[in-house]
Structure 1
Amino acid sequence: MTEEQAKELLQKYLNKQASPQEQKKVEEWYATLDQENIELAADRKAAIGEQMLVHLQDAMRQKPKGSQVFKLQPFIRIAATVLIIITLGISIWKLNIPVKPENQVTIVTGSTERKHITLSDGSVVLLGPSAKLCYPKTFASNNRQIALKEGEAFFDITHQEKRPFTVHTASGVDIRVLGTSFKVKSYQASKHIEVAVITGKVAVSNKKVNLGTLIKDEFLIYDKTAGRADIGKSKSATYIELAFDGASLEQVISKLQYAYSIKILLNDNALAKLKTTASFSSKQSPEEILDIICSLHHLKFNGSKNHKTFNIYR
């Protein structure tokens, strides 16, 4: 039902022309109002008040007799209250009032300031100078979305298979990941947006097309004016720490797979529960890290010729 249809239904109710089913619908709207918290600007209240007055005066001119007076009072109360909601553009069940979500956090840095932000899922954002970041205090159950409104930021994202992580920019370019680390540079005054992947894999897109998929040590430069993206290999690599504190081997493997865009297989599922406490750097090769991990658990591993698939075994 559109807003206009809802207004027509309310008018029928005011004119006592609504069918029993339509009367029930309006009264159901009214019943939901106790659960709503309506906050309006002063000028909006005035406009609604004027429209309410017109409808109420029309209803009162009917001069009900006898017991009809007592029936008309709740009738007007319901119609007037529902009119407030309809005038605001209510859908059938929920208000559509533009209010600032309490769940949202906005962080702004000064011209020489940097900030370290830990998100609700454990992901980390290092926000550069003159930047603005908006994110929820708590992420939704099926996705994780934040907005880099301005500036440069480094993201180290916690891997969660069922909750993809998306960074939205003011220019309409989105960066989608599952669990990885990358940098984004997005200034509104600049004609370019830059995305550089430190570990893992990210997909960069705008509203029209996928601009490219980047892996470790690759970068993308998007020309906002021309709508064109160029991908290259980073000359000066950036490194991050890969730390594990009592993590299961399954968790360690998951992190390494996304960090290096590789595949690691276990020939025995029982190995997945082995605990690992160690710290590495993304500067190290996958072979070097696997060699250390296997030494800790008295295991062995081998890799494919292209260094993209590894097997761990006893």
Structure 2
Amino acid sequence: MTEEQAKELLQKYLNKQASPQEQKKVEEWYATLHQENIELAADRKAAIGAQMLAHLQVVMCQKPKYVKVFKLQSFIRIAATVLIIITLGISIWKLITPVKLENQVTVVTGSTERKHITLSDGSVVSLGPSAKLCYPKAFASNNRQIALKEGEAFFDIAHQEKRPFTVHTASGVDIRVLGTSFKVKSYQASKHIEVAVITGKVAVSNKKVNLGTLIKDEFLIYDKTAGRAAIGKSKAVAYIELAFDGASLEQVINKLQYVYSIKISMSDSALSKLKSTAVFSSRQSPEEILDIICSLHHLKFNGSKNHKTFIIYR
């Protein structure tokens, strides 16, 4: 075998292109390199050395690239996994962490203490003993939400049709209103939640269904254990003050509609701008209040037989 043939065979072996017989010949030759006193011509040694050095240089150049690529790919995979875990963790944290209202105020009453709180929209909350209420210093532009964490409270809510008012309880029962007055009794130690409407209308619900819509003098008792609600008529009658200080006739009508759950219309839209200053009580009938208001402006009114619909005219 000539030197050129030996080089070609060694190259085929290194490129894994040699036949089984050729592989055996190279391996037998390699084994003889470890024998002692082997004599090789100087030019043969130089050729073999140069060939093996070239192969070694190729391997040395390729290996770092392979390791570098492997490490980079591994790093990318690990970084992607960590990023996914962090993203999922943040998403889960946002889902299980309740949204906190900015500038939230918490009011707690003692065992014999009562407090009256005026909210930013003009609504008034009267807290009974051992109660806890959380509310924001300023309500959002599209809704009003507070939380009765514990105890009993009476709510006199300012009417704002475009900003519904919602009271959340610790048991997951929510009371939603537009403008009315009602009482909520929600103690964590009790198996029941009570909602009683004094004036207007409220909707009571939990996370699953609407439990009922209450009007004036109706109450709802919700069994937290059974998840059921019962509605009845209030025996004890409570009254609130209806005060108007320079209010337009439209504002007066809106208040009366929610307090008494009635419908009042005007024959002429120009009447809506008439101003009224007076103080009434929900003890009075809507007919009595309308009679006084109309007398102030030299107006008249008619009511339906069921006392639920009225019209004001000149």
Q: Common fold, TM-score beyond 0.5?
A: yes
The amino acid that maps onto 1:117 is I
Deviations 1:245-267 (A, max 9, x none): 00000000000000000000000
Q: Secondary structure in 1 aligned to 2:272?
A: helix
Is the contact between residue 180 and residue 201 of structure 1 (CA under 8 Å) also seen in structure 2? yes
Q: 1:128-180 CA deviation, whole Å, 9 max, x = no partner?
A: 10000011111111111111000000000011111110101111111000000
Partner residue, 1:212: 212
AA aligned opposite 1:116: H
| Cα deviation, residue 14, structure 1 | 12
1:289 aligns with 2:289: yes
- What is the TM-score normalised by the length of structure 2? 0.70
Matching of residue 231 in structure 1 with residue 231 in structure 2: yes
Aligned length: 240
Counterpart of 2:200 in structure 1 is: 200
Displacement of 1:187: 0.4
Contact 1:239 1:282 in 2 (8 A): yes
Matched-pair contact (CA < 8 Å) for 1:132–1:150 = yes
Q: Distance in 2 between matches of 1:224 and 1:177?
A: 22
Alignment of 1:56-205 (within 5 A): 101-205=101-205
Partner secondary structure for residue 271 of structure 1: helix
Q: Indicate the residue corresponding to 1:47 in structure 2.
A: none
Q: 3-state DSSP class of the match of 1:272?
A: helix
Aligned residue for 2:155, secondary structure, equals strand
Partner of 1:266: 266
Measure how far apart 1:203 and its partner are. Answer: 0.5
What displacement does 1:102 show?
4.0
> CA offsets per residue over residues 14-33 of structure 1, 9 Å max, x none?
96x69xxxxxxxxxxxxxxx
Distance 2:205 2:100 in 1: 27
Aligned to 1:242: 242
CA distance in 2, matches of 1:303, 1:194: 34
What is residue 278 of structure 2 aligned with on the other side? Answer: 278
Structure 1 pair 223–100 and aligned structure 2 pair: CA distance change class (3 A):
closer
| Aligned-partner residue type, residue 288 of structure 2 | E
Question: If each structure's helix is expressed as a fraction of its own residues, which one has the higher value?
Answer: 2
Distance 1:195 1:296 in 2: 37
Report SS of the residue matched to 2:229. strand
Distance 1:98 1:172 in 2: 13
Amino acid in the other structure paired with 2:161: E
Query: Given the two structures, how large is their TM-score scaled by the length of structure 1?
Result: 0.70
User: Which residue number corresponds to residue 312 of structure 2?
Assistant: 312
CA distance in 2, matches of 1:195, 1:171: 13
CA 1:291–1:225 in structure 2 vs 1: closer, same or farther (change >3 Å)? same
SS at match of 1:139: coil
Amino acid at match of 2:182: F
The verdict on how the C-alpha distance between 1:247 and 1:134 changes in structure 2, with shifts beyond 3 A counting, is: same
- Give the residue type in structure 1 aligned to 2:224: K
Q: Which residue of 2 aligns with 1:22?
A: none
CA deviation digits over 1:192-237, x for unaligned, max 9? 1100000000001111111111000111111111111111111110
Preserved CA contact (<8 Å) 1:114 1:128:
yes
Quick one: percent identity of the two aligned structures?
Answer: 88
Partner Cα distance (2:217, 2:229) in 1:
17
Q: Which amino acid aligns with 1:189?
A: A
Give distance in 1, aligned partners of 2:279 and 2:89. Answer: 55
Cα offsets for 1:29-59 (capped at 9, x unmatched): xxxxxxxxxxxxxxxxxxxxxxxxxx9xxxx
Could you say which residue in structure 2 is the equivalent of 1:8? none
**Offset at residue 89 of structure 1 (A):** 5.0
CA distance in 2 between partners of 1:107 and 1:13 (Å): 57
Does the 8 Å contact 1:194/1:222 carry over to 2? Answer: yes
**Structure 1 portions without partners, runs of 5+:** 1-11, 19-54, 56-82
Write the deviation string for residues 80-127 of structure 1: whole angstroms up to 9, x where unpaired: xxx9xx589557xx9x99896542111110000111101111110001
